[in-house]
Amino acid sequence: MSNVIQSRIGGQRRLDCSEAEWKTRVDLAAGHRLVSMHGWSNLVYNHYTARVPGEPQHFLVKPNELGFDEVTASSLVKVHIEHGLVDPTQEIQVSGYNIHTAVLEARDDINAVLHVHTEPGMAIAAQRDGLLPLSQTALRFYKHIGRHEYEGFAEDKDERQRIARDLGPFKSLLMVNHGLLTCGRDVCEAFVLMKFLIAACDVQLRIQAAGAPTVQPPEDVCLKTAQRWNLPSRYRPAEWPALLRFADKHDASFRD
């Protein structure tokens, strides 16, 4: 079997890439569609990226002009971490490039990054105390989430160092007055973490809106639960086949 996958772009050009890259392209395109279906997208803004297998200095990102609901495997563009777009005729956002490069350059254990501006995420990211341990979902992030102070549009290259520093060893980041970021070993992990993080933010806002006295678990219970959530052996990307089936039922054109 050939290790090259060929796929049409717009019915005219052809894209040649390895089988491993094609699989990553399909997964990342599906991830974009799932973000859109879950209501996390923000017009054509925000980004979901994945490192190219076998090419650690390259990652895939959507073109600037496409909405998340329009992304296909073939439409994703390749970017070099230091040198930018492989094809200079394409266009991506500078801020998206800086944010995702910051993570992928600093963390060789990370292969996918997702950054969104959901309303619950922005609201919690603007609170002084950030995400509180008010639900089992939130405990996944207890002492396992970074915090990056707002510096304006992330267009300065030197901000990359501070984003990487503030993420630290974690896979989730509150970007203050801005939004949420998650990352992982693959497209699946970044997506699932974001699903849990947005849900935790939403639940906290609902609890706060109710105005009733709240109950937080004891510190030892919070620590034990967070440790269980974050055990390396717990990671089994069983959700991804189900999520791919869901995306296929909605619109399988992401595979093009």
For the chain, list the domains and their CATH numbers: 4-234 (3.40.225.10)
Q: Give the whole-angstrom CA distance, residue 84 versus residue 64.
A: 14
The angle formed by the CA atoms of residues 11, 12 and 17, to the nearest 5 degrees, is 90
SS (H, E, C) 46-83: CEEEEEECCEEEEEEECCCCCCHHHCCCCCCEEEECCC
Q: What is the DSSP letter of 45?
A: B
**Position 77 pLDDT exceeds 90:** yes
Q: Is the pLDDT of residue 63 over 80?
A: yes
95: pLDDT strictly greater than 80: no
| Integer Cα distance of 148 and 69 in angstroms | 29
Looking at the chain, the whole-number percentage of residues with pLDDT higher than 90 is 79
| CB-CB contact of 147 with 166 (8 Å) | yes
List b or e across 165-181, with b for residues whose CB sees 16 or more CB atoms inside 10 angstroms: ebbeebbbbbbbebbbb
Nearest of 149, 200, 213 to residue 175 by alpha carbon: 149
> Which region holds residue 211: left if phi is over 0, alpha if psi is between -120 and 50, else beta?
left
Where is 33: in which H helix or E strand? helix 19-37
pLDDT tens per residue, range 100-156: 999 999 999 999 999 999 999 999 999 999 999 999 999 999 999 999 999 988 878
Class of residue 254 by CB neighbours under 10 A (exposed 0-12, middle 13-18, buried 19+)? buried
The alpha carbon torsion through 24, 28, 34, 39 (nearest 10 deg) reads 160
Helix, strand or coil for residue 241? helix
pLDDT tens digits, 190-208: 999 999 999 999 999 999 9
